[in-house]
């Protein structure tokens, strides 16, 4: 599997407070795990029809980035300079991920995303 819904560069920008030892390969693995969760929630592999040029598909990109950011935070939380800020960020990433995955369980949203292809 290749990272499709978001890129390593996007993930690094989304969560700037990452551990310096977190490699691009490790972030790619995290993105792919996020994509797997998204596909499981949608009950279909969307990677073959996903397009970064479709505005509707940015929903998927944002969910993937939020899920990946949570994994990046969990990689080595001791290296985060401001734990209070990290708690705030993780709460936001978690809520956005949870809300996004919930949206992907709605058949109307899946139809909207599929029709946008």
Q: Which two tokens stand for residue 42?
A: 């949608």
Q: What distance in Å separates the CA atoms of residue 24 and residue 2, rounded to the nearest whole number?
A: 13
Q: Tens digits of per-residue pLDDT, 64-74?
A: 999 999 999 88
Q: Tens digits of per-residue pLDDT, 76-117?
A: 777 677 778 888 888 999 999 999 999 999 999 999 999 887
The confidence score (pLDDT) of residue 107 equals: 93
The confidence score (pLDDT) of residue 1 equals: 57
Using DSSP's 3-state secondary structure scheme, residue 82 falls into coil
Output Rg (C-alpha) for the chain, integer angstroms.
Answer: 14
Are the C-beta atoms of 45 and 39 separated by less than 8 Å? yes
Q: Tens digits of per-residue pLDDT, 34-60?
A: 999 999 999 988 888 899 889 999 999
The model's pTM: 0.90
């Amino acid at each position: 599997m290749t990272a499709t819904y978001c890129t390593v560069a996007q993930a690094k920008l989304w969560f700037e407070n990452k551990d310096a030892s977190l490699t691009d390969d490790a972030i790619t693995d995290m993105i792919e795990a996020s994509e797997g969760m998204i596909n499981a929630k949608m009950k279909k592999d969307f990677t073959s029809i996903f397009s970064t040029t479709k505005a509707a598909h940015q929903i998927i990109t944002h969910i993937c980035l939020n899920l990946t950011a949570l994994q990046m935070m969990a990689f080595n939380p001791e290296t985060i300079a401001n734990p209070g800020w990290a708690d705030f960020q993780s709460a936001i990433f978690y809520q956005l991920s949870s809300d996004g995955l919930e949206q992907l369980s709605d058949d109307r949203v899946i139809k909207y995303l599929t029709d946008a292809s």
